[in-house]
Amino acid sequence: MNKTIAAAIDVSSLTKRDTVISIFIIGLLFFIFGFVSWVNAILIPYFKIACELTHFKAYLVTFAFYISYFIMSVPSSYLLKKVGFKKGMMMGFWTMSIGASIFVPAALTRTYEIFLVGLFTLGAGLAILQTAANPYITVLGPKESAAQRISIMGICNKGAGIIAPLLFAAVILKATDTDLFAQLANMSAGEKSAALDELIRRVIVPYTCVGTVLFGLGLMVRYSPLPEINTEHETAEVAAANMGKKSIFQFPYLILGAIAIFLHVGTQVIAIDTIIGYANSMNIPLMEAKVFPSYTLFATICGYILGIITIPKFISQVNALRLCTMLGTLFTLLIIYTKGQVTFLGHVTDISIWFVVLLGLANSLVWAGIWPLALDGLGKFTKLGASVMIMGLCGNAIMPLFYGYFADRVDVRQAYWVLFPCYLYLVFYAVYGHKVRRWRSNL
């Protein structure tokens, strides 16, 4: 048996101090997840201009980044099983560091395809980290309060998401860029090419810094006091329930949960990564529209805070999941059907954009609600089950392409219809799907 795995401890043996330190370190990881992931919200319109892309091609940013989760999640589970959480996380950070470094040659040649390779590599590293961190924080305490712990992680993740697009925009965009974007159409081919080359090369310095920091974080986590936790421990009750089971496909609530994660993350990334384009359709310039993803993420953080306060004291995590999925369904309809100009927070917009912002609130406790339900009672299948859940993150890759397709062919508002069936399925999982223990059973 691998020495690292043999040294893994049962979570019940951790002291309160060990638990707090572990939560702090995992919170740092979720901050990094958020920073690297949600910067895509500004990369999409930025690449759309600099690389002269359609809506569909621009959303290949999210496709390249998140499809790596589908490809890498199961290999990640076997990697973690072999080397343990800490070495696995170090490898994840180092893979991300390589991805950030690929942005340098991509920017020097203004080659969109090389950027996509870099984004895929960043996503591959994140897949390893997510496969480790999500089951880790889920089992790091009582399952009844798992949504609380995941909500704390969500605040770290979305807090970074608020900072990332604004910081990235501050580094790569100039006050004069609004005039530059307006003049591009009237430039000669040579002038336009030179202007776009200068624009895209602004990513070199920030991504060089990101790559260096990620490499250092890999070393830090490897030698941190983070304990190796035995996530495959089974109680006698769980062992008896899982007797004779040889495959994760014998856990219907897990498979249905992975589908729920696929649709949930798709709705989440659409709400955040499309809102700048939606604001642009209302004639709001990029320099003003860049703050809208932060509004959506702030709404998500508000939901997390409510979850931390109310779960499980005032509301169970499954009822919180049901409430949030129903709100998502309602807000989707309001995006499509409500119209009228409003002035709010200094922006003159159509009222519907604020319902896109409120999707952040609706999405806030969905992830935290699904994970404990889907991993409940997996025992020795926990790591592999978590990798299946992480595969669901490829919804971030695929769902925005559907939105981009309909945005190009219909319009950016009607394209939000893609969210409606997603939320209906999430309501189904929250109400019924998580209870299914056999494929041919009434429960």
What's 318's domain CATH number? 1.20.1250.20
Pick the closest to residue 313 from 147, 426, 153, 139 (CA basis).
147
354 versus 3: which is more confidently predicted?
Answer: 354
Pick the closest to residue 353 from 290, 282, 252 (CA basis).
282
Q: How confident is the model at residue 7 (pLDDT cuts 50, 70, 90)?
A: very low
d(CA 348, CA 342): 6
- Residue position matching structure tokens 């090369």: 201
pLDDT cut 90: percent of the chain above it:
32
Q: Which amino acid is at 365?
A: L
Inside any domain, residue 11: yes
pLDDT tens per residue, range 283-292: 898 888 888 9
| DSSP letter string, 76-132 | HHHHHHHH-HHHHHHHHHHHHHHHHHHHHHHHHHT-HHHHHHHHHHHHHHHHHHHHH
pLDDT for res 244: 62
Inside any domain, residue 216: yes
User: What total of structural domains would you count in the chain?
Assistant: 1
Inside any domain, residue 441: no
Which residues form the domain of 401? Answer: 3-229+238-435
Task: Provide the token pair at 99.
Answer: 């991805």
- Give every CB contact of residue 224 below 8 A, 6+ residues apart in sequence: 25, 86
Kindly report the pTM of this predicted structure: 0.74
pLDDT of 9 > 90? The answer is no
User: What is the Cα 395 distance to its own chain's centre?
Assistant: 10
Inside any domain, residue 261: yes
| Cβ atoms within 10 Å, residue 225 | 10
d(CA 433, CA 443): 9
365 versus 384: which is more confidently predicted?
Answer: 365
Inside any domain, residue 442: no
Inside any domain, residue 307: yes
Whether the ω angle into residue 75 lies within 30 degrees of 0, i.e. cis, is: no
Burial classification of residue 133, based on how many CB atoms lie within 10 Å of its CB (0-12 exposed, 13-18 middle, 19 or more buried): buried
d(CA 105, CA 194): 17
